[in-house]
Amino acid sequence: MTTTHDVYSPSFMTGDEFHIPTFRLLQQDGTLHEGAAAPDLDQQKALKIYQAMLITRVLDERMMAAQRQGRLSFYMQCTGEEAAVIGATAALDDADMIMAQYREQGALVYRGFSYDEFMNQLFGNELDYGKGRQMPIHYGSRKLHYMTISSPLATQIPQATGYAYGQKLAGEGHCTITFFGEGAASEGDFHAALNMASVHKVPVIFFCRNNGYAISTPASEQFAADGIAPRAFGYRMHVIRVDGNDVLAVYQATQEARRMAVEQNQPVLIEAMTYRLAAHSSSDDPSGYRSRKEEEAWREKDPLLRMQRWLYDLGWWSEEEEKSWQESLRREVLETMKRAEKRPPPPLESLVTDVYADVTPALQRQLDALKTHIRKHPDAYPKGAQSLDPDVKAAGSELPSGDEQGGA
């Protein structure tokens, strides 16, 4: 049986026949594009979005400085991508699940993660939810529906599909959003996740932050097609490309994507075109692979300035409020950091908890061996490793004092 789409001679296609436009609302001067209409966003929510963007920027600045001072081992910034992350988060229900990569701290800021919670994780102290088991910036929050971050690239993408399948079965009207970079979209996990989501029709939003570089590899060396968005067609998936520095466009696009995901059980791919204004991480030097001229061109497209100008024009924010807020934020972040870095590390016993209901004999033997090792070499370990472990402390009368050990 033939259809009207059948042909009777070879006719090859490359995909060049299609071009996916970029959805935009807000110009860099803070005014709307001609013919564009702002989404339904009241002053209270607009300010919450902007203030979350501002907090994220200040947090990143201060913590990168702390890393350079040797107070923190590692850090990654969201700088330049705040509109993409926070605009999308604001369009969700607070009970929707977020599965992030490692540059989405702005999503946690928007949902109410405190400065203390950020700092406790970054320093891995006794109040860290992960008990010091993760690298810095690997946040997680059960109460805020933010899945703990995994270091391996792209693993969260198929996990998001699976979690969303569970949400579909539960029928409570929630969805999952997963954030990732265009570099992560080169992993097989990306394709497996999109295929499974389309086949099983699950409420998941795949949000790609296309910032142009997979660490140092430019997009031109990663893929030949027109970005990530066209890949959705291979899975019969809804897709939209959006200006990732335009917080209003990101918000409206994600709002509509969520509606399709929840009401129709349709997965959606969003590609946000943005730029990483900072280095990939505190271990990276971007001057080795991109020009200062390119960076400056994108700095003029700063998403914070764009939204700030829009708020100024509406009379919802002022230069005085901006200055006061920035000064207050910097002071509060610094004070919180000083408190967090003074807190002791997690108890030694926590190394073997939270996996099994009861500590297994094998794990107990390993812990006992570790305690013996610490007793023999106390000067090689932080003072907290002993003082927080009652067994080590009880057996530690023969140990020299902290001063004799050279301190902590």
Domain count, the chain: 2
Domain boundary at 317, 342, 367, which?
Answer: 342
For residue range 113-136, list pLDDT tens digits in order. 999 999 999 999 999 999 999 999
- Both 207 and 152 in a single domain? yes
- Both 391 and 290 in a single domain? no
Per residue in 273-312, is it b (16+ CB within 10 Å) or e — as a string?
Answer: bbbbbbbbbbebebeeebeeeebeebeebbbbebbbbbbe
Contacts of 157 (CB under 8 A, 6+ apart): 99, 178, 180, 184, 187, 189, 190, 193, 206
Write down the pLDDT at residue 88.
98
The answer to whether residue 396 scores a pLDDT higher than 70 is no
- Both 359 and 324 in a single domain? no
The DSSP result for 283-306, as a single string, is T--GGGTS-HHHHHHHHTT-HHHH
Write down the pLDDT at residue 405.
29
Mean pLDDT value of segment 141-165: 97
Burial of 162 (0-12, 13-18, 19+ CB in 10 A): middle
What residue numbers bound the domain in which 244 lies? Answer: 22-342
Q: Which of 178, 201, 196, 199 is nearest to 269 (CA)?
A: 178
The answer to whether residue 209 scores a pLDDT higher than 60 is yes
CA distances from 28 to 154, 247, 248, 391 (A): 32, 11, 12, 61
Q: pLDDT class for 401, splitting at 50, 70, 90?
A: very low
**Which CATH number goes with the domain that contains 317?**
3.40.50.970
Q: pLDDT class for 385, splitting at 50, 70, 90?
A: low
Asked if the structure places residue 4 within a domain, the reply is no
- What is the residue-averaged pLDDT of the chain? 92
Q: Distance (Å, rounded) from C-alpha 335 to C-alpha 201?
A: 47
- Both 257 and 295 in a single domain? yes
- Both 356 and 268 in a single domain? no
The answer to whether residue 76 scores a pLDDT higher than 70 is yes
Asked if the structure places residue 353 within a domain, the reply is yes
What is the reported pTM?
Answer: 0.91
Write down the pLDDT at residue 160.
98
Query: What is the sign of the dihedral through the CA atoms of 156, 162, 165 and 169?
Result: negative
Task: Please state the three-class secondary structure of 53-69 as a single string.
Answer: HHHHHHHHHHHHHHHHC
- Both 390 and 295 in a single domain? no
Answer yes or no: are the C-beta atoms of 205 and 178 closer than 8 Å. Answer: yes
Contacts of 25 (CB under 8 A, 6+ apart): 32, 33, 36, 37, 38, 39, 246, 248, 249, 252
Asked if the structure places residue 45 within a domain, the reply is yes
- Both 162 and 46 in a single domain? yes
Contacts of 223 (CB under 8 A, 6+ apart): 182, 186
For residue range 261-319, list pLDDT tens digits in order. 999 999 999 999 999 999 999 999 999 999 999 999 999 999 999 999 999 999 999 99
Percentage of the chain lying above the pLDDT 70 cut: 93
Alpha helices (H) along 26-123: 43-68, 82-90, 105-111, 115-123
For residue range 155-191, list pLDDT tens digits in order. 999 999 999 999 999 999 999 999 999 999 999 999 9
Q: pLDDT class for 196, splitting at 50, 70, 90?
A: very high
- Both 245 and 390 in a single domain? no
Q: In this structure, which amino acid lies at residue 390?
A: P
**Tokens read off for 278:** 């900072």
Q: pLDDT class for 2, splitting at 50, 70, 90?
A: very low
Domain boundary at 324, 342, 360, which?
Answer: 342
- Both 82 and 101 in a single domain? yes
- Both 174 and 226 in a single domain? yes
Q: Distance (Å, rounded) from C-alpha 253 to C-alpha 103?
A: 20
Asked if the structure places residue 177 within a domain, the reply is yes
Asked if the structure places residue 12 within a domain, the reply is no
Asked if the structure places residue 16 within a domain, the reply is no
Answer yes or no: are the C-beta atoms of 171 and 177 closer than 8 Å. Answer: no
Asked if the structure places residue 142 within a domain, the reply is yes
- Both 69 and 173 in a single domain? yes
Q: Which of 46, 90, 72, 21 is nearest to 306 (CA)?
A: 46
- Both 215 and 239 in a single domain? yes
Q: Distance (Å, rounded) from C-alpha 80 to C-alpha 276?
A: 5
Contacts of 363 (CB under 8 A, 6+ apart): 352, 355, 356
Domain boundary at 322, 342, 362, which?
Answer: 342
Write down the pLDDT at residue 407.
31
Asked if the structure places residue 197 within a domain, the reply is yes
Write down the pLDDT at residue 83.
98
